[in-house]
Amino acid sequence: MQHLISSILIYLGIAFIAFGVIGIYRFNNFYPRILVASKVDTVGFLTLMIGVIVRNGFTVFSLKVGLLVIITLCINPLITHSIARSAYYSGYKIRKD
C-alpha cells in the first residue's frame, strides 16, 4: 500500500515537471516562460519529494529529504525572482503599454 501511494506520487511529480518543460518551449517570450517554469517546477519538486518520504517512512533519510524540501522551497522562488528582476532592470521590455 505504502509502495503504491509513493509510486503514484512520484509519477505525478514527474508529470508536473514534464508540463513545466513543455511550457518553456510552448511560449515565445521570456517573461511567460519564467513564470511557467518557476511555478510548475516547484510543485513538481514538492510532490516528488513527498512521494520519496512516503516510500521511506519515518527515518533519518526522510528527515534529510524534509530539510532539502524546506531549503528548496525558500531558494527556488528567490532565484527566479532574481533572474526576472535582472532582466527588468536592464531594460528588456517586451510589450508596449
Partner 1 sequence: MLKLTLLALVVFSLFAVQTQKLRHAVIYLGAFSMSIAFVYLLYDAPDVALAEAIIGSSLSTILYLVALQKYKIFTIYICVNDTEIEDAHFFSGEKALERQLSKFCAKEELEPQIIYTVEDVHKLFEHPYAIIVTFDKQYITLYAHPENYKMQAMEQFLLDEKPVGTPYRFIQMED
Partner 2 sequence: MLPILLLIILLLISSLRILIGPTIWDRMLGLNMVSSKLIMLLVLIASFRQQTFILDVSLTYALLGFIGMIFMSLYIQGKGRF
CB 91 → partner 2: shortest distance, Å? 10
Enter the C-alpha cell of residue 78.
528567490
Query: What whole-number distance in Å separates Cα of residue 59 and Cα of residue 84?
Result: 38
Enter the C-alpha cell of residue 92.
528588456
Residues that bind partner 2 (CB under 8 A): 10-11, 13-14, 17-18, 20-21, 24-25, 30, 33-34, 37, 41, 44-45, 48-49, 52, 55-56, 60-61, 64-65, 67-68, 71-72, 75-76, 78-80, 82-87, 89-90, 92
**Residue in 29, 59, 82, 86 binding partner 1, rule: CB under 8 A:** 29
Enter the C-alpha cell of residue 34.
519564467
Enter the C-alpha cell of residue 2.
505504502
Give yes or no for a contact between 56 and 76, defined as CB atoms under 8 angstroms apart.
no
Question: Which residues, 59 to 78, sit near partner 1 by CB under 8 A?
Answer: none
Closest CA to 15 of 55, 59, 47, 53: 47
Q: Which does 95 bind (CB under 5 to 8 A by kind): partner 2, partner 1, none?
A: partner 1
Size of the site for partner 1 (CB under 8 A): 9
Which residues neighbour 25 within 8 Å (Cβ) at sequence distance 6 or greater? none
Q: Which does 21 bind (CB under 5 to 8 A by kind): partner 2, partner 1, none?
A: partner 2
CB 77 → partner 2: shortest distance, Å? 11
